[in-house]
Amino acid sequence: MSNSAKMPHEQIVKIKLNDKQMRENLRTAMHTLQKNRLNLVENKFNDWQGLRQRAKQAKNNAIQSLGERLVEFEKNATKNGIKVHWADTDVDACNIIYELIKKNNVTKILKGKSMASEEIGLNHFLQEKGVEAIESDLGELIIQLNHEPPVHIVVPAIHKNRYEVAQIFKDKLNAPYEEEIEKLNSIARTHLRDQFEGLKMGLSGVNFAMSKEGAFWLIENEGNGRMCTTAPDIHVALCGIEKVLETFEDAATMVHLLTPSATGQFIPTYNNIISGPRKNGDKDGPKEVHVVLFNHNRTNMLAHEDYHEALRCIRCGSCMNFCPVYDKIGGHAYQTIYPGPIGEVISPNLFGMDQNSDILSFCSLCGRCSEVCPVKIPLASLIRKLRANKVGQGENKAFGSDKLEHSKTEQIAFKLFVKAATSGGIWRFNISSAHTFNFVLKTFSHQLPVIKNWTKYKELPDIKGTLYDKLKNMEGVSYE
């Protein structure tokens, strides 16, 4: 899915930058998510940094003993009555699910939110086989109706405002045009209730699998996940192998960090801890529970001296929420289902460097993502390493590619920078003339080639005490 025909990145970035409505929607949403997280971390947690450290340690322990953890999970889950399947590639995972669908004469499945299913391209795969896969998460439903991929890993339709959602429901569900959020929710609920009627198979993702318990944890806010995992006779859960932790306590530590980081909520609305199919005397629950453990190049990352750190990711989306590039261009500009800082690290690793390396240039290396990541993934430093890899200064084994070339322009630009930065005289001259340069840029930027493309979308900051300030403050002079 991620390697389907892509638009040149310069082109799609330009389109997104000119989409004023999307930028406004994203700006408002991202600022709200940032504010909520900051308030919560500051006011509700005594030792947020200690919690991050514990989570990092628990994830590292699980990743370092991944083989052992996975076998332990399989053993204990099987004891609990869960059927565990192993898939090496994305296609293997799709085929396993399709075999279950065929065996049980299923023609339609309902899905809870699952980025893993987006990663393996499950909807498209099933559609080609004539099986309907319906999204039950509100955000996923909106973008499915509008034939779009998710724009964000936690809030897939965050680029749409309620008026746009109202129009989509009107056009695609023949619903009345309603602008009130409660009424839009009600339209979605009515539509989905009908879909659950007589449903045989539900599919979900997995947030954390616990090897000692042989159970898995699924968090969500809408209750649709619980419907998908309890209402049908068969529940299939799709789980990347890096989701396995050792204990229930480890998973609880992650949940404490996940929702505050994702949406600024203290706890998730629904915690679903699934430890097997319905037992004698249970009033509800599926008769069969299957877990598909899939690899899809994660073991290549595990073997790499640096990139294994990204396997700690708990998919909270915080790095996107705080990224100053993501909120300008949105997730679709990355043209991979994992956008933002974590996408820049894992998309080249999971889907191949050749098709996914352009997005590395989307990062300004400001480091905000690394600061907010609840499991302390050094995202900015990994992005820098991937860039070095891309231009051939690092080793390329992780990607199985030999087509990576040095960029001549980059080489010249960096040689000039090294020259300037290592020569005391040139550097002092540059610093002392920065004020004048800033003044020239602010005054004439809209006429200067190359620079005007940048300043069209971005205000240049003031440098305090600049010539520009002095001139601006002179009576009767205006440079605005």
Distance separating alpha carbons of residues 306 and 386, to the nearest angstrom: 10
**Least Cβ distance, residue 59 to ligand SF4 (angstroms):** 9
Return the number of the residue (235 or 296) whose C-beta is nearest ligand SF4: 296
- CB-hemisphere CA count at 13 Å for 277? 18
Return the number of the residue (169 or 326) whose C-beta is nearest ligand SF4: 326
**Least Cβ distance, residue 312 to ligand SF4 (angstroms):** 7
Return the number of the residue (101 or 219) whose C-beta is nearest ligand SF4: 219
Q: Which two tokens stand for residue 414?
A: 């960096």
**Least Cβ distance, residue 299 to ligand SF4 (angstroms):** 19
Distance separating alpha carbons of residues 153 and 113, to the nearest angstrom: 10
**Least Cβ distance, residue 90 to ligand SF4 (angstroms):** 20
What does DSSP say about strands 201-204 and 208-210: parallel, antiparallel, or unpaired?
A: unpaired
Burial of residue 326, with CB atoms counted within 10 A of its CB: 0-12 exposed, 13-18 middle, 19 or more buried: buried
Quote the crossing angle between the two packed helices 66-79 and 48-64, to the nearest 10°.
90
Cα dihedral: 425, 426, 428, 433 (round 10): 140
Return the number of the residue (155 or 199) whose C-beta is nearest ligand SF4: 155
The answer to whether 375 and 312 are in contact (CB under 8 A) is: yes
**Least Cβ distance, residue 448 to ligand SF4 (angstroms):** 36
Return the number of the residue (82 or 346) whose C-beta is nearest ligand SF4: 346
Residues in the chain: 480
The 8 Å CB, 24+ separation contacts for 186-192 are: 188/138, 188/141, 191/141, 192/110, 192/134, 192/136, 192/141, 192/224, 192/227
Return the number of the residue (100 or 382) whose C-beta is nearest ligand SF4: 382
What is the binding site for ligand SF4 (CB under 6 A)? 261, 313-319, 342, 372-375, 377, 379
**Least Cβ distance, residue 346 to ligand SF4 (angstroms):** 9
**Least Cβ distance, residue 181 to ligand SF4 (angstroms):** 26
Return the number of the residue (76 or 370) whose C-beta is nearest ligand SF4: 370
